[in-house]
Amino acid sequence: MTTTIGRETPGQRSDRPGARAVTHAPRPRKKLNIAGALGSIFLAIWALLILIPLAWVFLASFKNTTEIFSAPWTLPAELRWENWGRAWTKAHVGQYLLNSVLVVSISTAGTILLSSMAAYVLARYRFWGNRIIYFLFVAGIAFPPFLAVVPLFFVVKNFGLLNTYTGLILVYIAYSLPFTIFFLTSFFRSLPNSVAEAATIDGASHTRLFFSVMLPMAKPGLISLTIFNLIGQWAQYLLPLVLMAGAKDKWVLTQGIADISTAAGYEADWSGLFAALSIAILPMIVIYVIFQRQIQAGLTAGAVK
């Protein structure tokens, strides 16, 4: 007979003095996160609502008019790149694209520069009227652009800037300042004071402190706002329609596509219209895909101090 000393078989209760029964706590059941599941479902539906129309427009740009209306949900029989070429040359989408790149790049750069300077002063300096100026900028976010179209037209006209790139760029900057300043003010407030104090002790002036120390620290927020302003100004239609109506050679891309859409109702060049839409959409998609991590980092960086 074999005797086992100092070891108990599973399920055997020890009768030795001082021995404790080994009990296993029941594993907690995984609770279903209903809110998380609903959120995931909502995001999936939202993604489909955005991706399906984009895919449809892109596929339609390679079809002819007959395929667009007879088989809208099927793949094109062949890749008709001539639709893109026709939109680029005949509909002048290439020229409108270059005009948009010129206007949006300059206006976005001006918006970021002026907004960062104003937001830095409002966030880091205390003076009389600080909060008043800040709330005036914030109030501009709730002001719809179409309410000021008529007075804006006459103001730009009186300055001699109607139908000019300069007038359109200045208006773009003015309408982009409120949101950008609002976001950057909160971001600059979250930056540590110790770095600014150390630079001041080392003899840095206010200008050098801003451009050499604080502005590089705000890089994540600046990248996010640059992308947001690029997308917003790229898709702007009302302001160029009012301020650039008399200079067709200076039209931006949204004006050109609207003109193609009107002409398509008579000439039935729907494939050229969808090709022009694809040309207008692709640059913003590429920019967002490239900088998506920087955008997410910029949105969350200012939330943690």
Q: Which token pair is 206?
A: 């206010």
pTM score > 0.85 for this model? Answer: no
Confidence of residue 176 (pLDDT cuts 50, 70, 90): very high
pLDDT in tens, 249-271: 899 998 888 887 776 555 667 88
Helix, strand, coil % over all residues of the chain, rounded to 5: 70, 0, 30
Residues 100, 172: Cα–Cα separation, whole Å: 12
Nearest Cα to 90, choosing from 209, 254, 301, 259?
Answer: 259
Residues 121, 139: Cα–Cα separation, whole Å: 18
Mean pLDDT of the chain, nearest integer = 82
Helices vs strands, H then E, count in the chain: 15, 0
Nearest Cα to 204, choosing from 221, 217, 195?
Answer: 195
pLDDT in tens, 276-305: 889 888 888 888 888 777 666 666 655 444
**Contact by Cβ (8 Å): 90, 152:** no
